[in-house]
Amino acid sequence: MDNQQIWDKNWEQLGRYSIESAGNRWAAYLIRKLCRKCDMPAGAGIIDVGCGVGNKSAVLADIFPDCKVCGVDFSSQGIDCAKRFFSDVKNLRFECGDAREIGHSTDEPVTMVSAFELIEHLEDWKSFLTEICELSDKYVLLSTPTGRMREYEIGLGHYRNNKKGEVEAYMESQGYKTVDVLYAGFPFWSPITRDVYNMVNTSRKHAESDNGMEVSYNPLIHKITYFVYRYLTFDRIGDQFVGLFERNR
């Protein structure tokens, strides 16, 4: 499975969708909910690893306007999209490359490292978390799907869905305490939307054909869906994990 090849083929068509879709607006809401519990000094550095087209990096830049946010990704196509979409955000920049090298070369301290919807794409997620724990001076902010993995996720480059409590336990072993954790989405994102999406995409067999991703964007449908996710699903029951962790002192 070549995750970079999968996403390089699809960043262009998924770029605007990744910013405006109901799912990504809901993810931004969950991120904001946890970031209220962060104490971020002015001028602090934030590195968003695996930023893709930069939509969640931009959310962090908006939440922390006095901080310097850097979105990092190995995909030059994703970074090119991010630079086009968010060129007007003053406290946000994007770099293509290795987050560790970029983090160690910055002038400001790296107070937070985030990785949204990334560890499910990595064969060795524990080694990755060890690296970003070492890179951050204070906070690590993560999101990933949990629970039962569906067939369509293979076409998205997923290796697994983590079990409930698994990420928290590993972060504790790396010297980080849990500030707060959400398991969100029941019932409309999980299981309803995930199961419907699985039926539709499995019938198309796109994962077995050319790793293509078919998306459509209807603004009205996504506004309604966002309302359902935001107001009619639970924040503490479901399969969408978002966790904030703080280094033990």
Phi, psi (degrees; rounded to nearest 5) at 117: 55, 45
- State residue 206's pLDDT score: 44
**Distance between terminal CA atoms of the chain?**
39
Question: Whole-prediction pTM value?
Answer: 0.91
Identify the CATH number of the domain in which residue 204 sits: 3.40.50.150
CA distance 237 to 210: 35
Task: Note the pLDDT of residue 88.
Answer: 95
Inter-residue contact 187 to 38 (CB < 8 Å): no
Do the Cβ atoms of 188 and 38 come closer than 8 Å?
Answer: no
Question: What pLDDT was estimated at residue 125?
Answer: 97
- Confidence tier at 1 by pLDDT (50, 70, 90): low
Q: Does residue 65 or residue 206 have the better pLDDT?
A: 65
What is the reported pLDDT for 249? 83
The mean pLDDT value for 81-106 works out to 91
Nearest by Cα to 31 from 111, 139, 108, 135: 139
Q: In what order do the strands lie in the sheet with 45-49?
A: 92-96, 68-73, 45-49, 110-116, 139-145, 240-247, 176-184
Model confidence at 74: pLDDT above 50: yes
197 CB burial (10 A radius; 0-12, 13-18, 19+): middle
- The domain tally of the chain equals 1
Reference 144, options 245, 49, 239; nearest CA is 239
228, two tokens: 């359902």
Q: Give 183-236 pLDDT, tens digit per residue.
A: 999 999 999 999 998 998 766 554 344 444 555 668 899 999 999 999 999 999
Show the 3-state SS of the chain. CCHHHHHHCCHHHHHHHHHHCHHHHHHHHHHHHHHCCCCCCCCCEEEEECCCCCHHHHHHHHHCCCCEEEEEECCHHHHHHHHHHCCCCCCEEEEECCHHHHHHHCCCCEEEEEEECCHHHCCCHHHHHHHHHHHCCCEEEEEEEECCCCCHHHHCCCCCCECCCHHHHHHHHCCEEEEEEEEECCCHHHHHHHHHHHHHHHHHCHHHHCCCCCCCCCHHHHHHHHHHHHHHCCCCCCCEEEEEEEECC
Q: Which of 4-13, 57-66, 197-206, 216-225 has the highest mean pLDDT?
A: 57-66
Q: What does the pLDDT look like over 160-179, one tens digit per residue?
A: 999 999 999 999 999 999 99
Return the pLDDT at 105: 81
- Whole-number average pLDDT of the chain: 89
Domain with 44 in it: 3-247
Residue predicted with more confidence, 6 or 71: 71
Q: Looking at residue 176, what is its pLDDT?
A: 98
Q: What percent of the chain has pLDDT over 70?
A: 87
CA dist 248 and 174 (Å) reads 9
